[in-house]
């Protein structure tokens, strides 16, 4: 954990933090990109955690000198993910932190995912109404590792960044929290996990 201010608010990433969605996302990504002739390697997928789908598609297409309608392909990928939503499980140890602090601290979700997909996940695991605000890719123009989603969450919560603690599972998200001046817990290094 980094940072040392007194915590007044908790900000949670969703994918890979509140939900164990990353393997499902990868399956959705792989199937969708193969339809377009692009082999999207698993290690690269994880390295791009927190980057919006449209941005990833634009990047992958440019590398192959292809023209793809990034918005349409992103919609395909998100539909493939939602088809597998029934498989989604919460990450119980992180969801427990949110449960224990519900009504005690201000709380937000800040994600590089799209609003419909993030809301569907939160509803599926039964916590959509626990958060004071939800910030998604549509709410900022710059995305992780830029700090904008976390700063927007803090602004909406009315809490100074130094008094926010972020729970995050991706290197780009951890860097975004650092740039925002917030404490950050890398959930991949959770004790006992």
39 catalytic? Reply is: no
Cβ–Cβ < 8 Å for 38, 62: no
How buried is 174 (Cβ within 10 angstroms: 0-12 exposed, 13-18 middle, 19+ buried)?
Answer: buried
Catalytic residue from among 13, 15, 20, 169: 13
Q: Which residues of 143-170 are buried (b: 16+ CB within 10 A; e: fewer)?
A: bbbbbbbbbbbbebbebebbbbbbbbbb
Residue 122: how many CA atoms within 13 Å on its side-chain side? 25
Residues 6+ away with beta carbon under 8 Å from 29: 40, 45, 56, 77
Residues with catalytic function: 13
């Amino acid at each position: 954990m980094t940072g040392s201010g007194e915590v007044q608010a908790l900000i949670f990433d969703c994918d890979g933090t509140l939900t164990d969605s990353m393997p499902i996302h990868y399956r959705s990504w792989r199937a969708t990109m193969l339809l377009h002739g692009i082999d999207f390697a698993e290690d690269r997928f994880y390295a791009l955690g927190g980057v919006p789908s449209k941005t990833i598609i634009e990047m992958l297409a440019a590398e192959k000198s292809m023209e793809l309608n990034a918005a349409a392909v992103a919609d395909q990928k998100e539909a493939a993910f939602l088809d597998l939503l029934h498989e989604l499980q919460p990450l119980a140890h992180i969801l427990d932190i949110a449960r224990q602090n519900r009504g005690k601290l201000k709380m937000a979700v800040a994600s590089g995912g799209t609003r419909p997909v993030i809301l569907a996940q939160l509803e599926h695991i039964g916590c959509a109404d626990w958060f004071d605000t939800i910030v998604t890719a549509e709410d900022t123009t710059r995305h992780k590792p830029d700090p904008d989603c976390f700063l927007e969450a803090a602004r909406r919560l009315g809490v100074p960044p130094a008094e926010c603690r972020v729970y995050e599972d991706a290197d780009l998200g951890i860097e975004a929290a650092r740039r925002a001046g917030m404490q950050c817990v890398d959930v991949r290094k959770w004790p006992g996990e």
